[in-house]
């Protein structure tokens, strides 16, 4: 139970106990007054009947219940030392009233002292907890995050300490992520600089040759221009891919998901790579087992699968094949992309999705960015991507999306 609730309950219970005690004292005193008064009246009636036997009990009762003005009687009684305005007619009631006043005063004083004691204890405890919170924050400011959170209770101060700790850890993680992001940015810029250095140097050399050699053969000039075009295309692809990856890392790309037919996505990917497949004499085929549908962004998933198919084509020799199979069950939707190419070395498999990584069997024109982009897109869409390969026999990429509703 929270500390403030405990304090409130103790305070209310104490107030109830003292209130009940005061009520008991009041009732007891009033009963004593009533008994004393009744006894005095009974003695008075008995004395009157004894001295004046001719007065009937009815007459006495009428006198006692009369609403007449007894102011003259009060004045007459003062001659005998009985002041009804200041004293009790029954002497015993004077002691009773005095005792009630004394007891009520003592109860009030004790109650006030007890309430003050409870409040002082509460304030002292709050001050102690405040000092603990201050020391707690001071330790966090000193980068000491090894604090005894498990020893905290569920009162307000412990909850406050826990929330301060959570906020501090969150800020610490954000700071570490910021440092990590800066390092990643530095590494990315370094990689981009390295990747662009070679094609830019090549382009400058070829342009210098074209400009300086006015009598350059037309065929050589055409070859240089084609090389320049390939280099600029490669640079354009690299820059666009890096920008896309940066947007994915920053979560600035919002996928527009809707129900899509996987077969249509695969057909679009095959069309995107048709020219490359024809140039390399690689057969690309697809198979969808049943009607496979998934909630996804058509454009981005197509981008991811296209990059994988392109990678498979580039690593498959003439007369080879690339096969795309889509299937769905109650647990997941799976897209498999299989080729019978040269395969990937086992030492390269753990790094195949890293940016700018080029394995032993990589194409000389590869920049190592396509598979990294595919992985980023698939994971952004909530899926998983994996690869398995045997050198000389081929490679299999698998994309899985879990917990997908579908109709077969």
Q: Does the pLDDT at position 323 exceed 90?
A: yes
Q: Does the pLDDT at position 406 exceed 50?
A: no
Report whether 232 contacts 202 (CB < 8 A). no
Residue 203: CATH number of its domain: 1.10.287.130
Q: Which of 5-19, 149-163, 343-357 has the highest mean pLDDT?
A: 343-357
Residues spanned by the domain of 121: 3-141
Q: Does the pLDDT at position 194 exceed 70?
A: no
Residue 285: CATH number of its domain: 3.30.565.10
Residues 177, 74: one domain? Answer: no
Q: Which of 45-54, 75-84, 383-392 has the highest mean pLDDT?
A: 383-392
Which pLDDT does position 338 carry in this prediction? 93
Number of domains in the chain: 3
Write the pLDDT tens digit of every residue in 118-159. Answer: 778 878 877 777 787 777 777 767 766 666 555 555 666 667
Domain termination site, one of 111, 141, 171: 141
Residues 377, 346: one domain? Answer: yes
How far is C-alpha 19 from the geometric centre of its chain's CA atoms? 47
Q: Does the pLDDT at position 314 exceed 70?
A: yes
Residues 339, 374: one domain? Answer: yes
Six-digit token string for 244: 């896309």
Region 194-201: what's the mean pLDDT? 76
Question: Is 127 within the bounds of a domain?
Answer: yes
Q: Does the pLDDT at position 66 exceed 80?
A: no
Q: How far is CA 39 from CA 16, 20, 216, 232, in A?
A: 34, 28, 144, 122
Q: Which of 258, 260, 360, 253 is nearest to 315 (CA)?
A: 360
User: Confidence class of residue 75 from pLDDT cuts 50, 70 and 90?
Assistant: low
Find the helix or strand (DSSP H, E) in which 401 lies: strand 394-402
Residues 211, 274: one domain? Answer: no
Which pLDDT does position 156 carry in this prediction? 65
Q: Does the pLDDT at position 191 exceed 80?
A: no
Question: Is 147 within the bounds of a domain?
Answer: no
Residues 322, 391: one domain? Answer: yes
Q: Does the pLDDT at position 1 exceed 50?
A: no
User: Confidence class of residue 236 from pLDDT cuts 50, 70 and 90?
Assistant: confident
Which pLDDT does position 269 carry in this prediction? 92
Which pLDDT does position 407 carry in this prediction? 44
Which pLDDT does position 185 carry in this prediction? 67
Calpha distance 35→28 (Å, rounded) = 11
Region 106-112: what's the mean pLDDT? 79
Region 5-30: what's the mean pLDDT? 73
Question: pTM score, two decimals?
Answer: 0.53
Residues 235, 274: one domain? Answer: no
**211 burial class (0-12, 13-18, 19+ CB within 10 angstroms)?**
exposed
């Amino acid at each position: 139970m929270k500390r403030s609730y405990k304090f409130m309950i103790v305070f209310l219970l104490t107030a109830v106990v003292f209130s009940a005690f005061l009520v008991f004292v009041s009732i007891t005193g009033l009963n004593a007054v009533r008994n004393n008064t009744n006894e005095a009246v009974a003695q008075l009636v008995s004395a009157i009947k004894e001295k004046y036997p001719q007065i009937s009990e009815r007459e006495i009762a009428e006198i006692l219940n009369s609403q007449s003005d007894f102011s003259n009687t009060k004045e007459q009684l003062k001659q005998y030392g009985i002041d009804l305005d200041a004293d009790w007619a029954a002497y015993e009631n004077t002691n009773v009233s005095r005792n009630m006043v004394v007891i009520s005063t003592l109860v009030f004083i004790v109650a006030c002292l007890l309430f003050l004691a409870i409040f002082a204890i509460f304030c002292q405890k709050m001050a102690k907890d405040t000092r603990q919170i201050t020391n707690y924050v001071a330790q966090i400011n000193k980068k000491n995050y090894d604090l005894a959170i498990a020893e905290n209770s569920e009162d307000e101060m412990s909850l406050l300490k826990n929330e301060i700790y959570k906020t501090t850890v969150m800020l610490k993680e954000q700071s570490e992520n910021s440092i990590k992001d800066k390092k990643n940015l530095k590494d990315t810029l370094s990689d981009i600089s390295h990747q662009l250095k070679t094609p830019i140097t090549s382009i400058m050399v070829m342009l210098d040759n074209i400009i300086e050699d006015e009598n350059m053969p037309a065929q050589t000039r055409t070859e240089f221009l084609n090389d320049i075009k390939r280099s600029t295309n490669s640079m354009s692809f690299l820059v666009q891919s890096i920008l896309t990856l940066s947007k994915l890392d920053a979560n600035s790309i919002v996928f527009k998901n809707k129900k899509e037919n996987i077969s249509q996505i695969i057909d679009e990917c095959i069309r995107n790579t048709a020219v490359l497949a024809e140039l390399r004499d690689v057969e690309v085929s697809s198979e969808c087992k049943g009607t496979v549908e998934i909630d996804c962004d058509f454009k981005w998933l197509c981008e991811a699968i296209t990059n994988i198919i392109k990678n498979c084509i580039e690593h498959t020799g003439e007369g080879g094949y690339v096969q795309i199979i889509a299937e769905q069950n109650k647990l997941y939707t799976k897209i498999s992309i299989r080729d019978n190419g040269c395969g990937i070395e086992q030492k390269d498999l753990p790094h195949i999705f890293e940016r700018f990584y080029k394995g032993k069997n990589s194409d000389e024109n590869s920049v190592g960015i396509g598979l990294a982009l595919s992985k980023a897109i698939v994971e952004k869409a909530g899926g998983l991507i994996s690869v398995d390969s045997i050198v000389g026999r081929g490679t299999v990429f698998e994309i899985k999306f879990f917990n997908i509703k579908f109709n077969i």
